[in-house]
Structure 1
Amino acid sequence: MAKILVLYYSSYGHVEQLANAVAEGARAGGASVVDIKRVPETVPEQVAKNAHFKLEQSAPVATVADLEQYHAIVVGTPTRYGRMSSQMAAFLDQTGGLWARGAFNGKVGAAFTSTATQHGGQEQTLFSVIANLLHFGMIIVGLPYSHAGQMSVTEIVGGSPYGASTIAAGDGSRQPTEIDLAGARHQGELVAKTAVRLFG
């Protein structure tokens, strides 16, 4: 039965909200196990507190060894200058042993993100994650236009063919909209359906 991990990093809770929506969609898509885990914080605690990071999050902290037991991994990270966050990069950089053994070959991978602005590098960040997953040997699932909400031009929306996303505003005040969350749910459902087809 398909087991899915939603693995994320979130400084202010936007990516955390998307992670929960991805997991909701994955459960609806028929996955037998859907776990949500976050990568460790690397920012010194006092610095994080001064920057008002959301340090209390319900998801347990993942270890690299956790990754091998899943058939699909959906990676969520905020954008940092058009690329994945250093916290996520540091975590994925520790997977060399798993990569060398081919532990991810043929499994399903996907990405989602958040930026401060509409043109703040969402697609580039998704590609930075997807490139990592392709090096792992994973089969990539994006967010096709079957999520029609991403085509709206009447309001600010996240989403692209490469993955679900949201726009947080420079001060973090904008929260994911229902369209953004629907995109995350849809992507999670597609990941689950793909994993079920591949792994039962």
Structure 2
Amino acid sequence: MTNKNKELSVEQREELLTSLKVRFEKNIDRHLGIEWSKVLAKLESNKEKLWSLNEMERTGGEPDVVGHEEEEGEYIFYDCSKESPKGRRSVCYDREALESRKKHKPENNAIDMADAMGIELLTEEQYRELQKIGIFDTKTSSWVKTPDTIRKHGGAIFCDRRYDTVFMYHNGAESYYAARGFRGSLRV
């Protein structure tokens, strides 16, 4: 279902830009001091990044601007869906974990999906930043980028929000649950 050319049709592009603008204006507190016209200009000059944002949108991530790196001139988008993106749940952490399962393999894994979409998994730090601008994952959880020191022992980490507190946990990287997906970030 993904476009190998990583280009959107005119209709897809317009639909995405409209959705992003509406979300941007509705959630202005996520990006105080950032002007939509400047974000739009950056998006229009980055077709491949626009494609990645469309993939975030298509899988239920509801991407939105959460910051601006002035030095790099980049706008930072995170998945801002209330719960972990629906189209990215029931996945284990990475390919190694997927291949290690003998039975009941999930269809995919978070790392490969993010890579195919052209995005990065949020780190624990980024996940905690996201939780400062809203309340996310109160019923779901999200895999986050796992340090090699944990991954080499077979584990992976995920985060969620319960009791008005952000928690970081661990699981075997091969585990997967209907309520666990992953959130991504994209710099444009």
Q: Which has the higher strand share?
A: 2
**TM-score between the two structures when normalised by the length of structure 1:** 0.25
Q: Which has the higher contact order (CA 8 A, sep 6+)?
A: 1
